Structure 1
Amino acid sequence: MRSVAKSTSKVPTPKQLATRERFRLMQKWRSQFTGFFATTFKNHTHEHSVQNAAQAFDTGIVAGEYPAYYIYASKVVSNGALPGLPGLIMQHNTAK
């Protein structure tokens, strides 16, 4: 297990900021579905944690250019022995 990185006084480069924002967006989106992924990726939890198993199938879910990143429409939300649902469209309503 890795430890928490030491604080630094260096100013992050634009590339570091872009990478951090991309990772933050991906984690924020995926964290909403942890329970769902625990079921849909349960065949892979002997190899990875639930979040890591979901990430392994969706390495390119964040699209766009910094700072206007967005979650790409094509997202794997399950992997297992059952066939998929052709034409399935999922939407996430962010209105509150």
Structure 2
Amino acid sequence: MRKSILQDRKECFCCGTTLNLERHHVIHGTVGRKIADRLGLTIWLCAEHHRGAYSPHQRRDVDLRYKRFAQSCYMDRYGTKSGYALWIAEVGKNYL
């Protein structure tokens, strides 16, 4: 598992709390978790923001926001052109 490229501190990505944290794989599903671990596409969320009514597992718009953020960070890290090509090769889908 690689260190997250999306978040430096272990605190909820939404509210900043350090209590009841759960790691969220921005790219999820069986294969997606492995990709997220390998590429560092994880964030910390408190239990409420991870599994509650306004969580990425309950709301498509929240899930898409995190995926867009992840793709943007990934592309910034590797350069816009080559980062995009690498993202598509690794993840297989454009979220921007």
Return the TM-score normalized by structure 2.
Answer: 0.28
The structure carrying a bigger strand percent of its residues is: 2
The structure carrying a bigger helix percent of its residues is: 2
Return the TM-score normalized by structure 1.
Answer: 0.28
In our comparison, the structure showing a higher alpha carbon Rg is 1
